[in-house]
Amino acid sequence: MPRPILFAIDDDTSVLEAVVQDLRRNYGQNYRILRAASGQAAIDTCSQLKGRGESVALFLSDQRMPGMTGVDFLSRAIDLYPDAKRVLLTAYADTEAAIRAINTAKIHYYLNKPWDPPEEKLYPVLDDLLANWHEGYKPPYEGLQVVGTRWGMADHNVREFLTRNHVGYRWLDPQHTSEALDLLKSRGIDDAKLPVVVFNDGTAMVQPTQQDLAAKVGLKTQVERDFYDVVVVGAGPAGLAAGVYGASEGLRTLIVEPEAPGGQAGSSSRIENYLGFPQGLSGDELAKRGFIQAQRLGAEFVTERVTGIRVENQYRIVVLSDGREISASVILIATGVSWCRLNVPGAEELVGRGVYYGAAQSEAASCKDESVFVVGGANSAGQAAMHFSKYAKNVTMLVRANSLEKSMSKYLIDQIASTPNIVVDTCTEIIQFGGDDHLRCIQVNCDGKVESREASSVFIFIGAAPKTDWLPKEVLRDDRGFVLAGPDLRRVGIDKMPGGRDPFLLETSVPGIFVAGDVRHGSVKRAASAVGEGSIAIQFVHQYLAEF
């Protein structure tokens, strides 16, 4: 972080040098000492400092300077650095003018020249002024900054991507803070082109793609090799577990994930029934631990999207969204599932602008003191309701069933019942969303009675479905798109693999392509189950590789 600045201004070079030397001797370790030989030169420098976001703690200006007096300079400096302390250097003959300047130029102190010894006549005065300045000083934020509105879909996607990937940032909404507009202006960026991401090296990205953003924040977007023993598609619990076991057992393992480690489970605000964590942990924390563990053991991660796979002789080819291809002996499909969409009027138009699928971690703080709606009655909805209850004024769960007992764990039901700002409306479903630039109201059918309710944020958890359209037709799926594997292949008439062997437990209809986790037909939709499948899949990978 740049040190705050002490700025000395005097047209007499010998006096200026003496001032600078005295300042450096006592304050050089904690402050940068700058100088200027005229008031105008100092104003020009201050304008540049302001544009770079640097802080000036104190101005020390001589009064008698040609072109612009010290009083005139200190008066103009208020516009650029209103909180900086202002000290005027004067001769005894200018004492009266200095006293008047305390009111006209709002100077904080004046010093008569000479000030020897500085230990008695200079430093005690400046020490008091600087101590007072530090009480109200807020160091400039040096990390990544996102300038965007709350209700923009692209803006929401950027914030959610950074949040899920544990990239710290500060969000500035130009509709609520002038600092956002100042930041854009200092970089010559049109405020109509949002979102804008400003990095701590001074560069900025306007409406960045996810891939560009991933590369800039240090996520890997390029693979290290052309060939791997196993490529894992997806970094949810199943994919992370496969990465841990594959890498630890000596397999060259690549994990390809387009968004963030953790998958759907990674967006869960609290998992309290995962073995070994009696206090519970967030899905985000579980994903972070798995990611670090897999990396430490040697698994390679790349932020990319897989658009296709194919078989060429003994190789399995993974095709990435940019056209690159990666060869592997084995592919493990661990893409999990995505939240089902709510098919009611207004839903699609308002996604990212008040309508969200999943917990949307980046939106939690925005809901402070607001009324939030959570749609769904399973564990994920209950966990989200508990999470948002810490921020929102109240949380209303809209549940289509007549109770939570059949779909939610008892520990969650008990927690919800004991949380005073959570209300559960059973036999209730949304039939319409309303709003223009963002969500403003919902219509609900409450046990046959239609009601309209004000709403700015609705989080939807109504079941999940696989996204497997990208898979080749040879990888057989059930009528809902879940991938068939092992004994379930008999449903489509496959009893034996080529060569007459039985399919391995998690092997798909294509030899050498395995599946694990929620995307598999018949899987148990639990994080622990997905971790188990990802782990044991590597055992079958070893058996497959031993045969070929």
Average confidence (pLDDT) per 10 residues, the chain, 548 residues: 88 91 93 94 92 88 88 90 90 68 77 84 92 83 88 90 90 88 85 88 90 91 94 97 97 96 81 85 89 96 95 94 94 94 93 87 83 93 92 94 92 95 96 94 94 94 91 95 95 89 95 97 92 96 90
Amino acid found at 112: N
Q: 9 - beta bridge partners?
A: 36, 61
Nearest to 59 by CA among 122, 108, 120, 117: 108
Q: What is the pLDDT of residue 458?
A: 95
DSSP H helix total and E strand total for the chain: 15, 26
Q: What is the pLDDT of residue 92?
A: 63
Q: What is the pLDDT of residue 51?
A: 78
E strand residue ranges, 238-365 = 253-257, 300-303, 306-312, 315-320, 325-333, 338-339, 355-357
Nearest to 441 by CA among 449, 432, 450, 369: 432
Nearest to 22 by CA among 108, 123, 110, 120: 123
DSSP reduced 3-state for 442: strand
Separation of CA 479 from chain center: 36
Task: Compute CA distances 333 → 41, 290, 519, whole Å.
Answer: 64, 18, 8
Q: What is the pLDDT of residue 94?
A: 65
Q: What is the pLDDT of residue 93?
A: 56
pTM: 0.77
Eight-state DSSP code of residue 157: H
Domains and CATH numbers, the chain: 5-135 (3.40.50.2300), 144-216 (3.40.30.10), 227-337+466-547 (3.50.50.60), 348-464 (3.50.50.60)
pLDDT digits (tens, 9 = 90+) for 435-468: 988 999 999 999 899 999 999 999 999 988 999 9
